Structure 1
Amino acid sequence: MSKPIVAIVGRPNVGKSTLFNALAGENISIVKDTPGVTRDRIYADVEWLNYQFTLIDTGGIEPDSSDVILSQMREQAQIAIDTADVIIFMVDVRQGLIDADSKVADMLRRSRKPVVLAVNKADNYEKSLPDVYEFYNLGIGDPQPISAAGKQGLGDMLDVVVGYFTENGQEEREDDRPRIAVVGKPNVGKSSIINKLLGENRVIVSDIAGTTRDAIDTAITWGGREYVFIDTAGLRRKNKIKEELERYSIIRTVTAVDRADVVVVVIDAVEGVTEQDAKIAGIAHDRGKGILVVVNKWDAIEKDDKTVYKYTEKIRETLSFMPYAEIMFVSAQTGQRLAKLFDMIDMIVQNQSMRIATGVLNEILSEAVALQQPPSDKGKRLKLYYITQVSVKPPTFVIFVNDRALMHFSYTRYLENKIRDTFGFRGTPLKFIIRERKEREK
C-alpha cells in the first residue's frame, strides 16, 4: 500500500517551511547515508498517531510583484492537485485574507481534492479567533488555527488531515498486478519505452484513470500477465526556471515511486550516468523499492568489446549506494532487448517478496560470525543472538544483539552480503533493524 501524499501550498512568508520543518522534525528522510543524493528538503516521511504519510513542500515563491506571486501560486497549487491526496492550504492570520488566497482557493475547491485550511501565526488563540473566522469566506471548510513556529494546534490540524486518508485509501490497492514506475530525467526516453512496449507488441491497452491521482496508469499485458506502468513524463514545460522544473520532477518522482513495486530508472546512454540520476535512484532506494537501471538509446553508442563493461562500472560507481540494482542496455527506438524487461521485472518482484525461514537465516548468521569476528569496543564485543525476517517489499530482517552501539554499518553490510551470497535478492534492497537484548533476556 503506498503512503498518502500531503502537499503544503501557500503565499510567500506564510510559514510553509516552518510548518514543514515542524512536522518533519528530525526524522528527515532525505537519504542520510546515500552518496550522490543532495538533501533537498522537498519531501519527508511523517508519522502521526498510526498514520504514515509523505509530506511535500511545493516550493517557495520569492518574486516581488503580486502578479508573479499569483501565477506561481497557481503553479504550486496545480502540482499539489496533480500529486497529493490531501492539500494543506496555508494562510497568515496577521495579514488577513488576501485576493491571491481567494483565487488559489477557487482552484483548490474545483479540484475536489480534500483541502485542510491552516491559518498560521495564531499564537494567541483567544485574540486571533475573530480574524481566523474571516477565512470561512474562502469556502473551503473550517479554518484550523495553528502556530507553526510555536508548534501549537498542529495535532488538531493533523487529525483533520489523516481523517481524509481512510476515505481515499481503502479501495486503492485491491489488485495484485505488479506496478512499475518509469522514472528518470526529462528526455531520456521514459515515454518512448512505454509506447514501444504498448505499440509493437499488440498488447491490450487500457488507461486506468489513476485511482485517486491524476497520473494515467497504463496496463500492459505481456506473456499472459498484466503489469501497470506509472509514467512520470509530462515535464514538457517551457521557460520554467531550472530549479522549479527540477523540484517539480522530484515531486512527481516521489509520488510515482511511492505507488510502485519496481522502479525502472532510465538513463540516457549518450549522456551517461549523472548526479541527477543518482538523486532520482536515491529516492527509490530510500523507499525500499525494487530497482532496475535501464540504459536507453544504446543503439546510438559506438561500441567495442569493453563498452558494456566500462559503462556498467561507471553506473556502479555513481550509484554505489545500491550495488544490488540490476542493469540493462536497451533501445526504445529499435526495441532492442525491451522484451527482457518483463523477465527482469518478474525476477525483482519475486525477490522483493521472498521470505527466508528463520532456521536458515540463523545458520548463515553463525557461519558469518565464525568467519569474521564481530567488532568490539573498549573490551566489549558485539554478540549476535538471533536473526529473523519480519516483512517483505523490501525484505526486512531483525537482528538481536547485546549492544546496538557496537553494530557497525560495515558489519551489517557484511551480513547482508552473506545473505545475498546464498539467496541473491537481485534488484531489491534489504532492510536491517538492530534490536538490543540484555544477556538475561536471552
Structure 2
Amino acid sequence: MPFTLAIVGRPNVGKSTLFNRLVGKRLALVDDQPGVTRDLREGEARLGDLRFTVIDTAGLEEADDASLQGRMRRLTERAVDMADICLFVIDARAGVTPADEVFADILRKRAGHVLLAANKAEGTAADAGVYEAYGLGLGEPIRLSAEHGEGLNDLYAHLMPVADAHEARAAEAAPVLDVTVDEDGETAIGHAPTPDRPLQVAVVGRPNAGKSTLINRIVGEERLLTGPEAGITRDAISLRWDWEGLPLRIFDTAGMRKKARVQDKLEKLSVGDGLRAVRFAEVVVVLLDAAIPFEQQDLRIADLAEREGRAVVLAVNKWDVETDRQGKLRDLREAFERLLPQLRGAPMVTVSAKTGRGLDRLRAAILKAHDVWNRRISTARLNRWLAGMIEAHPPPAPGGRRIKLRYMTQVKTRPPGFVVMCSHPDKIQQSYTRYLVNGLRDDFDMPGTPIRLTMRGQGDRNPYKNRKKSTPSRLRKHMRDGPAQK
C-alpha cells in the first residue's frame, strides 16, 4: 500500500503547482490570487520509482472556526491527521512569516512526520528565505521550484527512507489471506477484490444546490467543504468510495451559473473543470433544488449531459423541507416530461442531503442508468423489431420516392448507438427518426439514456462503377502508330 503525502502551507506558496508537478497532470486549479484551493484533492503521484498518494490542501489561515477560512483550515488539519508524511511548504522569496512559525508549531505537535520545503527557490533572490527556514526547527529545508521542476531529486532523497519504512510496517501488518485453488486451477482469495475501474459519477448543478453536502453524506464523513455560502466548491474534486458494495469514483463540481454571469477568471476555470468532469463521467447526477427546480440553468446542464452522451439521473434535493410532497412530486414529473423530452424516462429521485433520506433510491437509480447506458441488443432482435415498426408506420415517400429500411444493427454502447442501412438516408425526416428512437426506448426498456440513431445509405455495390475507364497500352500504341506492317 503506498504512503500518503499531504502538502500544507500558507495560501499562495505554490502547493497546487507542486501537486500538479507530482501527479504529472494539471488537475488542481492554479492562479496568482491566494486561496484558490478550498477542498482536499487527492492524486496518484510519481517521483522516480516512488508511487504514492498526494493530497493538495487549502492554505492554512488563522481565522474563526465558523468562518469559511476556518472550515477550510479544519479540512487541512484532517488531511494532516490522515497523511503519513506532511510536506510543509513556505515561499522562499517571501521568507519565513509569523504565520509560517505558527503553523510549523502546529505541525510539530500534530503530524507524525514533517518535511520542510522552500518553494520558489530558483535564483539567488531566494537564498535568504532558505536560510531563514532553518529557524523553524523542522530540519534541513528542501530547495524547490515547483513551477520549473527543480529540486525534485532532493525531495526524492528525503522521501525514499520514509517510503521504505512505511512499506516495512505495511508488510508486518498485512493480514494472511486464505488462498485456495479451485478445481479449474483458478486462484481464489478469501475476500472480494476491489475492481480496478470504479463507476465514474459526476454530481452537477447550480450553486448552492447541495452537491458537496450530498457527497459527504454518501461517503459518511466531512470530506468536502460545505456551508451556506454559494460557490464554495471551485475544483472538480474526485473521491473513491465503496458505496454499499458499489465501487465508485464520484466527482464534486463547482456550481454552474448562466454563462453571461460568469465574469470572474477563477469561476471560468472552475466551470471548465466541471465540464471536463461531465465528459469523463459515466453517470451524471443533475442535482436540483426542490424550492426552485427546473430553472433555465438546470435545463442547460441536463441537456449538456445528454449531448455529451452520459447516462443522466435527476435528483431533487432538500426534500425534507417540503410539506405537500405528493403534489410537488406530481408537478415535478409533469415539468420534467415537458421541459426535457430528450431525457424522457430518465430516473428522477427525491433526496435530502442533510438527513440522508432517499440515498438508497439514488444508488439504485445510478445503477439502473449505468446498466441501460451499457445495454446491447442483438442484431436479430433489432431487425425483427424494425420490421414491426415499419409495418405499423412506414417511412414517408417524399416526391413519390419510396424509402426502404433494409437493415439495422447496434454499433456501440455507452451510449447505445444504432445504424439503419436504407435508401435515400438524406430524405428521412427527423420526425421518423424520433419515432424509431422512442420505440427503442419503450420496447427495449432504455428510458432516459441518450440514443444515437444514424441513417446510412448502402452505397454502390460495384467498386468499378464510377472509376474512369482506362485504355489498354497495346490499343493506345495501335491508335498512335497505326496498324503494324507485315
User: Could you tell me which amino acid in structure 1 is paired with residue 450 of structure 2?
Assistant: P
Distance 1:248 1:355 in 2: 37
Deviations 1:62-101 (A, max 9, x none): xxxxxxxxx9x958xx89xx9xxxxxxxxxxxxxxxxxxx
CA distance in structure 1 between the partners assigned to 2:249 and 2:357 by the alignment? 21
2:317 alignment partner in structure 1:
296
Partner of 1:287: 308
2:220 partner SS: helix
Q: 2:209·2:289 contact (CA, 8 Å) conserved in 1?
A: yes
Matched, 1:233 2:270: no
1:348 pairs with one of 358, 365, 369: 369
Q: 8 Å contact 1:401–1:437 — kept in the other structure? A: yes
Task: Work out the CA distance in 2 between the residues paired with 1:249 and 1:387.
Answer: 42
Alpha-carbon distance change, 111 to 332 in structure 1, aligned in 2, over 3 angstroms: farther
Contact 1:275-1:318 at 8 Å conserved across structures: no
Q: Distance in 1 between matches of 2:261 and 2:348?
A: 32
Deviation at 1:285, TM superposition (A): 0.6
Query: Which residue of structure 2 lines up, in the alignment, with residue 430 of structure 1?
Result: 451
Number of aligned residues: 269
Percentage identity across paired residues of the two chains = 35
Amino acid in the other structure paired with 2:443: T
* Residue identity in the other structure for 2:394: Q
Q: Quick one: which amino acid aligns to residue 318 of structure 1? A: L
CA distance in 2, matches of 1:229, 1:377: 49
* Matching of residues 263-342 of structure 1 within 5 Å: 263-303=284-324, 305-342=326-363
3-state SS, counterpart of residue 346 of structure 1: helix
1:179 maps to 200
**TM-aligned CA deviation for residue 427 of structure 1:** 3.6
Separation in 2, partners of 1:74, 1:324: 45
Superposition TM-score, scaled by structure 2 size = 0.50
Which amino acid is 2:147 matched to? R
- 2:318–2:351: 8 Å Cα contact kept in structure 1? yes
Gaps of 5+ in 1: 1-57, 59-70, 83-107, 113-173, 207-213
1:160-179 alignment to 2 at 5 Å? 175-179=196-200
1:371 maps to which of 385, 392, 409: 392
Instruction: Decide whether aligned partners of structure 1 residues 392 and 259 sit closer, same or farther in structure 2, where only a CA change above 3 A counts.
Output: same
Which of 406, 409, 413 is the aligned partner of 1:392?
A: 413
Determine the C-alpha separation between the residues in 2 that align with 1:432 and 1:180: 25
Q: Can you give the 5+ residue segments of structure 2 that lack an aligned partner in the other structure? A: 1-28, 42-144, 150-194, 225-234, 463-486
Helix, strand or coil: the match of 1:410? Answer: helix
Residue 180 of structure 1 contacts residue 227 of structure 1 at CA under 8 Å; is this kept in 2? Answer: yes
Q: 1:110 aligns with which of 134, 138, 147?
A: 147
Q: Secondary structure at the match of 2:342?
A: coil
The 8 Å contact of residues 200 and 280 in structure 2, kept in 1 or not, is answered as: yes
Question: Which of 415, 423, 431 lines up with 1:402 in the alignment?
Answer: 423
**Pairwise CA RMSD of aligned residues?**
3.4
Q: Which has the higher contact order (CA 8 A, sep 6+)?
A: 1
Q: What secondary structure is seen at the aligned counterpart in 2 of 1:390? A: strand
Deviation of 1:336 (Å) = 1.4
1:401–1:298 CA distance, 2 compared to 1 (3 A): same
Name the TM-score, length of structure 1 as normaliser. Answer: 0.55
C-alpha contact 1:262 1:345 (8 A) present in aligned 2: yes
| C-alpha contact 2:204 2:255 (8 A) present in aligned 1 | no
Find the counterpart in structure 2 of residue 416 from structure 1. 437
| Residue deviations 1:184-243 (CA, integer Å, cap 9, x gap) | 01100001110111117x9xx89xxxxxxx74311221232211101103789xxx9644
Change (3 A) 1:111 1:403: farther
C-alpha contact 2:351 2:362 (8 A) present in aligned 1: no
Which range moved further: 330-339 or 283-292?
330-339
